[in-house]
Structures are given as structure tokens and as C-alpha cells.
A and B are shown apart, each in its own frame.
Chain A
Amino acid sequence: MSDTALIPRLFRTEFRKITSVLVKLLGMQHIDLAEDIAGETFLTALETWPYKGVPENPTAWLYTVAKNKAKTYLTRNRIFTDKIVGHLQNESSLITEIDIDLSEQNITDSQLQMLFAVCHPSISTEAQIGLALRVLCGFGIDEIANALLTNKETISKRLVRAKEKLRAEEVNIVFPAISEIDHRLKTVLTTLYLLFNEGYYSESSDAVLREDLCLEAMRLTYLLVENEHTDQPPVNALLSLMCFHASRFEARKNENGEIILYQDQDETLWNEELIAKGVYFLHKASQGNILSQYHIEANIAYWHTIKTDTKEKWENILQLFNQLLQMEYSPIAALNRTYAFSKVHGKEAAIAQAEKLQLHTNQYYFTLLGELYTGINNDKAKQHFETALSLAKSLAEKQVIQKKLGNIA
């Protein structure tokens, strides 16, 4: 691999590790400094490698440079504080002895602790996602802006505010107390779930970036599964859900980036390995007596990995949506439930259910109504599809609706 391709790749995997370890060492108040040191390390690589050649072990090289930069900074800063603050006797050799521990164990621990810090209840979910993408996934500001469909300024401001909040709340890079894990884990799982969804449902035109977002969410969830204290049923259920969804990456968009609806997907493109992993984590999630929203959603996703339409399949999906909605309402779950209802009880019964949902600003509501009225009352179906078309925002969605309209005529 040429060094121009190698450095960005290493940046994605190593930047976050160096940052997490340094923040753990220096404390949350120095998060910007940690990011700067990690960033400068890669800058040094960019300046050196093209002339001196890529070192034999690039990762080890990066760690050494990062350690030296951190030590230099600490020593300099030490001299500065000493001059201002005066003598701090008997501690003068302390800094040079500080070991910057970039061992695999400490990297994993630091990232896990950082995950808990970033998903602190004191900062908004939006900011948690941005911060996670920056310090835990090594995304650049413009990548985050692109993935979240906003501009760089908004993201920068959001990150600055989030970091200020973390400093103000004196959030530490520590593993939460065992008694607190369940409570803190809830926020972490919500953020990881949303992070995954940002990628999965993103309108961003950058397909690689969208998938990266999903894979990062899966990697972070996997970190939790690997730790004995956080390897809990809801975590496994969430990972299972992500595996099932991710198994359809290839099948859900065509080469022009147009969405292919579930029923039209070529199931030979579904990733068998990810489906098998999903089943494995779902099985692990079933141990114990906790039933989370993720359990139900993973179960629904499981049934969707069986392409053949059977009565049993749709009855199970319907019952799961019934359960999910009692636990946590969302318009998309309400619409999907109604679709499953039509599969079990027929279109006419489902129309009566659908019309009670009253989601008049939601394009998918009208797409569903159009779908249900097709073959029952085609004029009404057309009207609904046209309303959906006027509400649809992206080209990809408009194409899907237009295709459905074409099918009626």
C-alpha cells in the first residue's frame, strides 16, 4: 500500500486510540490537547514518510512519536507551571517517568471508558453522536458534517459546546461503578443505536461513509460485548439488530444509489455471515430475563432475514410490533406495524387501522396508504402516492414513489 493511502487508513484506526489513552492520562480538561498531539503525530508521519520511507511497523512508530510529543509537552508545561507556581519539590522527575501506556489492554480500556464519558447524560444526544464520531471513530469534521447532513460550522460548535460541558461537569475517564453500569449503559446504547441509524438511514450520497458509520457503531457495541461487566443482554440484542440490518447493505441500494425496497431485494445479496452473527448475538441476548426494546427490534429483524412470506412470519412480526409500540412509540414502528397488520388481516382491515394513525406530515404514512389502497381503490391510492411525492425530500425516495405510481396505471 502506498503511504498516501496508508496514512488516512491508519488515521481512522489509530487516531482514536492515541486520543483516548492521552485523555485518560491527562484528564478530560485536556481533551483538545490530546486531540492536538494525536493530530500532530499524523502530521509528522505525513512530513517524514514520503522522504524516509514508511517505517517497518507504522503503528509502533506512531505510538512512539505520540509518546514523545506528549512528554515534550508535559515537560515544557511543567517548566512553565513551575516558574509561575514556584517550586514543587521532590516531584521534579515525575513527568519524565510517566509512562504513556499504549498497550492493547490500556487502549481497549481507555476507549471503553471514553465511550461512557462521551455518552454522559449531561450532554445532548446530538452532541454525544458528534463527539463519538470525532474522538471514538476518528472522523474528520467535514466527514461528520457530511454524514449528519449539516455544515462544518454547526458540527464544530456542537463539539466545542459538548467538550465544555464535559469539562464543566468534571466527567472523568473512568469505568462507571458496577452499581451504576445499568443506568449509564442505557444512554450509551441509545447513542450507539442512533449512530448506527444515522448511517443506515442517512441521505448522504457517500455510500462508503454511510457504511463506515454503521461499522463504527458495531465496533463500539462489540467493545461492550467483549467486557465482562457490559456484556449484558440488551447490548447483545443491539449488536444482533445491527448485524441483521447490516446484512442487507449490498441489497438495499442499486448501483445508482436508488433504494430497493425490502420485498424487491435480491436475497442472494444478503450477507449470510452477518445473519449468522446476528443469530448468535440474539441467542446470547436471550439469556436472563431482561426484555429490552432492542430484543424486540432484533427479533423483528430476524424474521425479516427469512424472505419467504408465510402467515407465521407476519403474525410474529405483527405481535412483536404490538409489543414494541407498548414499550416505546415511534411513527415508523406504527407504520411498520400497520404494514404487518395488512399482511395478516388483509388490506381493508389495515386501511381502517392506518387512517387512525393521523401522521399527516409523514411521507411514509401516505406511501403506506397508497400501498394499501392499491387494488382496492386505485384513485385513492394515486392521491396518497401523490401526497407522499410532495412530502418526499430526497431524489431516491421520489423515485421509489414514482415507480409505485407507475405500477397503478
Chain B
Amino acid sequence: MDEFILIFRHMDGTKVASPEQIQVWMKQTMDWVGGIAAQNKFVSGTGLSFDEPRVAWHNNVVTNGPFGDIKETIGGFIIVKAESVEEAVEFAKGSPVLQGEGNSVEVRKIARKN
């Protein structure tokens, strides 16, 4: 069994959702992650706050947030156990992040330590 990271890419990190909407997403996300954990395939994961984002660049430059010309940003990630990349993709398809138009979940195999 390999480990895969599922990275949530949000099309527009500057959009502000209502507290009610956030509440609904939170529950959906918890149910989604809970479903993976119930199969004993959850390793770890976290959401990322959109507050005070910074990017450190080459040449000691620091900018506010990743949002400039491109608004795409990372909203969080989870690491799962899966037999194949296909299985990991099946997990990814269930992510509530994909309800947002233009959003995506990037699936990458974790490099083995040996």
C-alpha cells in the first residue's frame, strides 16, 4: 500500500464564503474524511487558513498571499493510504472541494523514504 497526498486547489482564494456555507462545507469535508478513515486509509491532513497568507520569494522578497495575477491557492491537504493511484483518485473525486467550479484536487504519490 502506498501513501498519496491529495492537495485541494481552490480557483479563487480571495472569495469569501458565508459562515453558514463554511459550516456546510466543514460537515461535508468531515464526512468525506471520516469515510476514508472508516476504511482505515486516512494518514493525516489539515485545512489551511486563508488569513494572513504570505509568500517568500527568491531574493528576499515577501508578498502578501499567493494571490496576484493568479488567484489559485491551496486550501488544505490530506494524506491517504491506497493500493493504486486509481484508488487515491476515487477518494479525491468525493472531495467537497470539487463542488466549486474550477477547483481541483491534485493526487501525488508520497516519495518513499528508502
Contact = CB atoms under 8 A, between A and B. Distances in A.
Interface of A: 315, 318-319, 321-323, 325-326, 329, 333-334, 337-338, 341, 345, 353, 356-358
A341 B31 contact: yes
Interface in B20-78: 27, 30-31, 33-35, 37-40, 42
A329 B35 contact: no
A217 to B, nearest CB: 27
A356 B35 CA distance: 9
Nearest to A327: B37
Contacts of B34: 318-319, 321-323, 325-326, 337
B30 A353 contact: no
A357 B31 contact: no
A353 B38 contact: yes
A212 B37 CA distance: 35
A337 B35 CA distance: 9
B38 A334 contact: yes
Contact of B38 (A315, A319, A337, A345): A337
Contacts of B35: 341, 353, 356
Nearest to B38: A334
A326 B33 contact: yes
A360 B44 CA distance: 26
A72 to B, nearest CB: 58
A319 B31 CA distance: 7
Q: Which of B27, B30, B34, B35 has the most CB of A within 10 A?
A: B34
A357 B38 CA distance: 7
Given A325-B37, A329-B37, A318 B31 contact: yes
Contact of A356 (B27, B30, B39, B42): B39
Given A323-B34, A334-B38, A357-B38, 20 more contacts: A315-B27, A319-B27, A319-B34, A321-B34, A322-B30, A322-B37, A323-B30, A325-B34, A325-B37, A326-B34, A329-B42, A333-B38, A334-B39, A334-B40, A338-B38, A341-B35, A345-B31, A356-B35, A356-B38, A357-B39
Contacts of A337: 34, 38
B27 A326 contact: no
Nearest to A322: B34
Nearest to A336: B38
A204 B20 CA distance: 50
A326 B37 contact: yes
8 contacts: A322-B30, A322-B34, A329-B37, A334-B40, A338-B38, A341-B35, A345-B31, A356-B35
A337 B30 CA distance: 12
Contacts of B40: 329, 334
B5 to A, nearest CB: 16
Contacts of A341: 31, 35
A106 B97 CA distance: 59
A326 B80 CA distance: 11
Lowest 6 CB-CB distances: which A-B pairs, in order? A322-B34, A325-B37, A334-B38, A329-B40, A322-B30, A326-B37
